[in-house]
Amino acid sequence: MAFFRDYADGWATKYFRLELARELHFRAKFIPALGLSVVFLLSSYFYKPEISFPLIYWVAAFTVIYVFMQFRFFGKAAKPCSETYKSWTWGFSATCWLAGFMWGLFPSIVFPSVSYFEQLALIMMLFAVLSVPAPALSRCLPLVMGYSILLISLVAIAFLSHHDGFDRHSVFVMVVFLGSLIYLYDQWGIAKEILNSAEDKRRLKTSGITIRRLKRDRYHDSVTDLFNKVGLITYLRSSGEDYSTFIIFALKVRDVDTLYSSHSKASIDDLIRDLTGRLQGCSFDKKTIAHLGLGEFLILVPGADSENLDSVGQDFFTLFEEPFNSPLGPMSFSVAIGCAFYPEHSTSRQGVIPYALTALKAAESQAGNHLELYTDDMAIQLNRRAFVRSQLASAIKHEEFVLHIQPKLNLQSNTVDSAEALVRWESPTMGMVSPAEFIPVAESTSDIVPLGRWVLKEAARILGGTRLPSKFSLAVNVSVKQLADPRFVPDIQEIARQLQGTGRTLELEITESIMITDEAIFRKTLGKVSELGVKIALDDFGTGYSSLSYLTSLTADRLKLDKSFIDPIPENQRQASFVSTVIAMAHSLGIPIVAEGVERPEQLKWLSENQCDTIQGYFLSRPLPLSQFSDWLESNVCPETNGFKAPLLVAAG
């Protein structure tokens, strides 16, 4: 059954067409009424008392067939559409095949009671019954062939079964049948030609639709239906609008690309459409918006000037403060914005766009909501960034990096029992390159993975050396891409094996941005790492997506408060209250707190009084090369106890 069903489906796909079904519906409307008229006419003409019983049944059956055909296939609501044309064509074909079968039975009923010449007359009449509807039925090849074959074959069988001999009249009948076969072949050709013509028309129509779609896709974004970059450039070139002055804002919604890497395309597309709707609802008149992809937009605002640029930027920032429905639930976003003016920055309309995008790159290098107006220095900075990127892979290969160590002071025990390893680049061509330059570049490429592997390997070497105290923990920063690397866990397993029994431990610092990736994979990887005795610290806590649910699910071994929260205390009472609350919250979960960026004695005093566990910052020491760090330990730390020789709280007090 499955074979026949598949065959029928393939047949329907090949021969049934919506446009042909509509033509068939229009051209075949006459068939029920005409057919029923011919039924009554022929049955009356050939009526004989001895065949009345089968003839009445034949007429009754045909009446049902043609009445059903009229109401089922040509009623008011029976016109085939895109959803029903296949079932309509199947049904109409089956009804016509049944009609052909019934017409083929008519000679078997009539021949026994009529003369030879009346039989010949009936055959000629049935040839007319065959030929009159054929042009309309030719819109469906299986229909016209089935109808014709059934009628011709049954008439031939009826005639031959009543005539055993062969005479000149039989020759005439055979000529008629031969003509019927020729006619049948002709109808086959006509039906095939109609089918091929319909196929050509459909292909032409499909090609036209495809061409129009390709043209539209060239200038429009498929997710938002806004202009894309090419579309906006074309619009600026050809627009009749009198844009004597305008500003282009290049706006990037942060973290959308990170979400995209770990969630379904459909959910991110829905989020992008929500972001688009929010932008389209902003208050600028006659704005034109383009979407470049993954939450990056260009907004053209005519008539704007630089005097109120800050307030315009604040309007954009406020626009994204209200939470959106993201794959992680309600979520607010920060945005980076670059902007450039016409004709101030470019004398061509479309030439403003690259300057706005250059300013956006500068804004993206800053955290949180940030707006940058294009300046000539930005091009220099971007060229520098491009050069850094070109040198980075080679630098990793040739190990041009070094780790600097920044100690941490445990305020509860007054001991230096841990430190953070911070990577530095000593380039032969560029000199000492700041991490603020090369880390974002490495993060934006795949270079962060081999760089991170080198940092782990070097940290393990330092921990296995003789320059650190016997019980000591060294922390390194780990990126999202490293956690996704299949070699990450095996690398940590090897380091844990090397450090086994030494009393020294490795600590991994992860940032909150990891929380907007796939949480299940994230927890699984960190769970394996924790089982190896490696500590987990949540870095820059409070700057991103912190929540109690994440803290309880991550089982972090410590939290690091970002420097931005430490800078204003203790003078800023509101900020001090926030930090105090975070410390109390972490302690209630049994998680110690590290305050980074401590630079002033009054900060240290306040943190100690508010039960902060550990501090890190320039007030204690800047990051030092390993040899200098060893000297610093020797000068400031008791080797037997790790105790700090000169308590900082004395200086702070």
Helices (H) and strands (E) in the chain, counts: 26, 17
Residue 365 and residue 263 share a domain = yes
Angle among Cα 209, 212, 213 to the nearest 5 degrees reads: 85
* pLDDT tens-digit series, residues 361-417: 888 878 788 899 988 888 787 788 888 889 999 999 999 999 999 999 999 888 898
Q: Please classify residue 76 by burial: count the beta carbons closer than 10 Å to its beta carbon, then call 0-12 exposed, 13-18 middle and 19+ buried.
A: exposed
Which has the minimum average pLDDT: 253-262, 428-437, 589-598? Answer: 253-262
Residue 120 and residue 173 share a domain = yes
Assess contact for 514 and 482: CB atoms under 8 A.
no
CATH no. for residue 493?
Answer: 3.20.20.450
Residue 158 and residue 26 share a domain = yes
The strand pair at 335-342 and 324-326 is best described as unpaired
Higher pLDDT, 2 or 560: 560
Residue type, 319: L
Residues 130 and 109: their CA atoms lie apart, in Å, by: 18
What average pLDDT does this structure show over 253-257?
A: 85
Residue 343 and residue 449 share a domain = no
Assess contact for 435 and 424: CB atoms under 8 A.
yes
- E strands within 369-503? 370-373, 401-410, 415-427, 431-433, 472-478
Assess contact for 100 and 146: CB atoms under 8 A.
yes
Q: What is the pLDDT of residue 188?
A: 54
Q: Which domain holds residue 439?
A: 402-652
DSSP label at residue 82: T
Show the DSSP H helices in 111-137 as ranges: 116-131, 134-137
Number of domains in the chain: 3
Inside any domain, residue 459: yes
* pLDDT tens-digit series, residues 574-608: 889 989 988 998 898 889 999 999 999 999 999 99
Q: What is the pLDDT of residue 7?
A: 46
Q: What is the pLDDT of residue 615?
A: 94
Residue 135 and residue 259 share a domain = no
Q: What are phi and psi of 403, to 5 degrees?
A: -100, 130
Inside any domain, residue 464: yes
Assess contact for 566 and 610: CB atoms under 8 A.
no
Assess contact for 561 and 579: CB atoms under 8 A.
yes
Inside any domain, residue 553: yes
Assess contact for 616 and 407: CB atoms under 8 A.
yes
How distant, in Å, are the alpha carbons of 30, 72, 132, 171, 578 from that of 66?
11, 10, 16, 34, 85
Q: What is the pLDDT of residue 480?
A: 82
Residues 47 and 55: their CA atoms lie apart, in Å, by: 8
Inside any domain, residue 350: yes
Residue with tokens 């083929």: 104
**Residue 634 binned pLDDT confidence (cut-offs 50, 70, 90):** confident
Query: For residue 602, is it left (φ>0), alpha (ψ between -120 and 50) or beta?
Result: alpha
Residues 416 and 615: their CA atoms lie apart, in Å, by: 10
Neighbours of 182 (CB within 10 A): 10
Residue 592 and residue 513 share a domain = yes
Q: What is the pTM of this model?
A: 0.58
